[in-house]
Amino acid sequence: MPARPLPVNAIRLDVPTLKQRHKSNFLPRNTYLKPDTKTLKDFKSFGSGSVSLAPRYAPGIALIELRNAEKKNAMSPKMMVDLTRAVGDLETLCKDTEDEKEGSDLVGVVLCGEGGDLCSGFDLSSTPPTKAFHPSFSTQMSTLMHQTLHRLRRLPLITLASISGHAIGGGAELALSCDYRLISPHTRLKFVQIGMGVTPGWGGGVYLQSHLRHGKVLEILGTGRSLGAEELRRLELAEVVDGEKICVREAGVEFLRKFTHDAQGNLRPAHVVREMKRLVSAASGVGTEEEWEMLEKERESFVRLWGQWANRQAVEKFVGTGKGERNNL
């Protein structure tokens, strides 16, 4: 028997008001993602370096830059607070623009580090051992960084880590929290955590799992070996730009241009691109509460291991001699 068409009045088109739309769909400020004020206060004056945000670096594109070049952009507690603020500012910008009639042109964000290295993980010499190995420190650091990278991942913006040098430890985790990684033939990405006596502490284990099969993830995390450009390309973890040395800012902007402009060079409607990002994220479980639940497990492991003998030995070796994991690269 042919299917009978539905009566017209059975099809209800509920067009949500702007207010309802915000409520259901737009970056709810979930309490689990709210940074702890005590941690922000504690961390903001610890260590050197900075993280800057240029919200309108290029048409439709913001730029976040890590600046601690003499330490390969290692992330001090102060920089963690700066990064949290930058991500918060981007959330606000996206939110504000939803209220505007015209909307804004913000579509993507490039993350990079001064001098081309993205980040060499936690700044191991920023914090005295009495503080760094205090049980509360690992909880504070990993909670803040988990929240911040997860919020970065949930942004309705296309995120790109642009790297011409190293992304090591937490730096690899930062890179993996982005939608894309743009690298040079010289880029090295290394989940060095096993050699530091810990598991990933900023969310990178879960993020790597979203790209690769179980056995591969285990091999990369369990050996801590260095991944070069060719392998990263083959694993579809990164896009490689040819050239001796890439300018990370400009290469990043160029890469995102296909999202900001159409083939005729006209700006795309940014609110549609942002909605597209939300849709793809939701469909693939990126930045969802389910992903956050997995991250909680990762954080528990890290907190358990940080400060134990294997970790202390590795950190002390690096800080004492400056010759830690780097020799194994």
Query: Which residues bind to ligand LP2KCY5N, rule: CB under 6 A?
Result: 71-72, 74, 120-125, 166, 168-170, 173, 192-193, 196, 200-202, 318, 322, 324-326, 329
Which 3 state secondary structure label does DSSP give 50? Answer: strand
To ligand LP2KCY5N, the closest distance from the beta carbon of 43 in angstroms equals: 13
Which 3 state secondary structure label does DSSP give 53? Answer: strand
Q: Kindly tell me which of 95 and 317 has the beta carbon lying closer to ligand LP2KCY5N.
A: 317
To ligand LP2KCY5N, the closest distance from the beta carbon of 26 in angstroms equals: 31
Which 3 state secondary structure label does DSSP give 202? Answer: coil
Q: Kindly tell me which of 60 and 205 has the beta carbon lying closer to ligand LP2KCY5N.
A: 205
To ligand LP2KCY5N, the closest distance from the beta carbon of 125 in angstroms equals: 4
Q: Kindly tell me which of 35 and 200 has the beta carbon lying closer to ligand LP2KCY5N.
A: 200
Q: Kindly tell me which of 26 and 318 has the beta carbon lying closer to ligand LP2KCY5N.
A: 318
Query: What is the C-alpha separation between 200 and 177, in angstroms, rounded?
Result: 13
Q: Kindly tell me which of 160 and 172 has the beta carbon lying closer to ligand LP2KCY5N.
A: 172
Write the burial class of residue 25 (CB in 10 Å: 0-12 exposed, 13-18 middle, 19+ buried). middle
Q: Which two tokens stand for residue 231?
A: 């392998």
Query: What is the C-alpha separation between 95 and 60, in angstroms, rounded?
Result: 15
To ligand LP2KCY5N, the closest distance from the beta carbon of 89 in angstroms equals: 24
* DSSP conformational letter for 158: E
Q: Kindly tell me which of 55 and 115 has the beta carbon lying closer to ligand LP2KCY5N.
A: 115
To ligand LP2KCY5N, the closest distance from the beta carbon of 74 in angstroms equals: 3
* Sheet order of strands, 188-190 included: 166-168, 188-190, 226-227
To ligand LP2KCY5N, the closest distance from the beta carbon of 19 in angstroms equals: 40
Q: Which two tokens stand for residue 31?
A: 């309490």
Q: Kindly tell me which of 187 and 260 has the beta carbon lying closer to ligand LP2KCY5N.
A: 187
Q: Which two tokens stand for residue 120?
A: 């060499």
Q: Kindly tell me which of 98 and 325 has the beta carbon lying closer to ligand LP2KCY5N.
A: 325
Write the burial class of residue 317 (CB in 10 Å: 0-12 exposed, 13-18 middle, 19+ buried). middle
The answer to whether 171 and 227 are in contact (CB under 8 A) is: no
The Cβ of residue 276 has, within 10 Å, a number of other Cβ atoms equal to: 15
Cα 323 to Cα 116, 161, 249, 269, distances in angstroms: 22, 27, 30, 50
Residue linked to tokens 């590795």: 314
* DSSP conformational letter for 206: H
To ligand LP2KCY5N, the closest distance from the beta carbon of 302 in angstroms equals: 7
* DSSP conformational letter for 67: E
State the residue number with the nearest CB to ligand LP2KCY5N: 121
To ligand LP2KCY5N, the closest distance from the beta carbon of 51 in angstroms equals: 15
